[in-house]
Amino acid sequence: MATLRLFAAAREAAGTGRAAVDGATVGDVLDSARARFGEQFAAVLVRCRVWVNGEPAVDGQPVGADDEVAVLPPVSGGDGRGSAAP
């Protein structure tokens, strides 16, 4: 089981900031999280960036028991690309 870390709106939608979630890949972990936390979480997830162990991740990336999958919604006031708008 990977550790799923949720921040901001994702944490609010799930009702928790951390959970152990089954899955062999990032996509599997996110599918399990959608099933576990419901439609509101799934709606937030489409706007989020996902990282594994501090690095950007893709759905097919393998994960293991020692991995941390972080879900980071966009930050308010930014342009959605990680920098402040001009």
Tell me the mean pLDDT in the region 73-82: 61
Q: How many Cβ atoms are within 10 Å of 21's Cβ, its own excluded? A: 20
Q: What is the pLDDT of residues 19-72, one digit of tens each?
A: 999 999 999 999 999 999 999 999 999 999 999 999 999 999 999 999 999 999
Q: How far apart are CA 39 and CA 58, in angstroms?
A: 21
Read off the amino acid at residue 62: P
Q: Which domains are seen in the chain, by residue range?
A: 2-72 (3.10.20.30)
Residue 77 pLDDT: 52
